Amino acid sequence: MDQGVIGTLKLLYRKQLLRQLLSSEDDTPESVASFYKRITLKDFCYMAAESWTLLKQATLRGSWNKLLVRRGPATDTGDWNADSGVNREMEEIMDTLRSTSICEECERADVERWLASDDEDRGLQTMDGEEILEFTSKEPAETEEEPQYGDDEEKERPTAPSDSEAFRCAEVLMKWYEGQEESVPQRLLCLKSVRDLAASKRRSVYRQTF
């Protein structure tokens, strides 16, 4: 994949991560630590998928124009400019950070270092023969036993919302989202499918009861 696309995707992903971090009303340093304890691998996957959908067609089109061998006259690539897109995203990140109490004095150089912090990470660890032998000869670490819950603790564990509660919440969320400027049909359909699922489960429970 073209490095411009990869760089833009990473920038959008970090932007999604930042939005999740700052979604809480509490923007103290303690909230940052609790955020990283609370977030899951599934959340990271959702953010990566969301970042991919935010990639502009002009960015992808410009990357393909570099890869494909043209045999005919060059076609118009639009107003694609990777640098301008990156600068725009950088400014949005800077504005978001400056609105918090913990990053009021954050400079662009700080953000650039954060965005480039994993440039040297190749995504996997390469080992030579001796390192592989040492790694495979290590004793397996003892696995932690799953905590045993007593009767009282079992009762205190949070339960999932009921089907009726999920339906009402989804209904309210759909009405709210329809009135937003950022509303798009695709996401509205996703919310509708969630609401319909809750409605169908609620109906099935109702039939079983009566």
**Is the Cβ–Cβ distance between 11 and 86 less than 8 Å?**
yes
Query: Who wins on pLDDT, 51 or 208?
Result: 51
Q: How confident is the model over 80-94, as pLDDT tens digits?
A: 455 566 677 777 777
Q: Which pTM was predicted?
A: 0.49
DSSP state of 8: H
Q: How confident is the model over 35-53, as pLDDT tens digits?
A: 778 888 878 888 888 888 8
Query: Who wins on pLDDT, 129 or 169?
Result: 169
Residue with tokens 């919302």: 161
Q: How confident is the model at residue 18 (pLDDT cuts 50, 70, 90)?
A: confident
Q: How confident is the model over 110-148, as pLDDT tens digits?
A: 777 877 776 665 555 566 667 766 766 765 555 455 555
Say if residue 201's pLDDT is above 50: yes
Cα 100 → chain centroid: 20
Which of 195, 4, 174 lies closest to 81 in space, CA to CA? Answer: 4
Q: Most confidently modeled of 17-31, 52-66, 136-150, 175-189?
A: 175-189
Euclidean distance between CA atoms 186 and 10, whole angstroms: 23
Domain boundaries, the chain: 3-66+82-115, 160-209
Please give the C-alpha separations between residue 75 and each of 65, 71, 83, in angstroms, as whole numbers.
9, 11, 21
Please give the C-alpha separations between residue 132 and each of 127, 174, 208, in angstroms, as whole numbers.
6, 53, 58
Euclidean distance between CA atoms 195 and 198, whole angstroms: 5
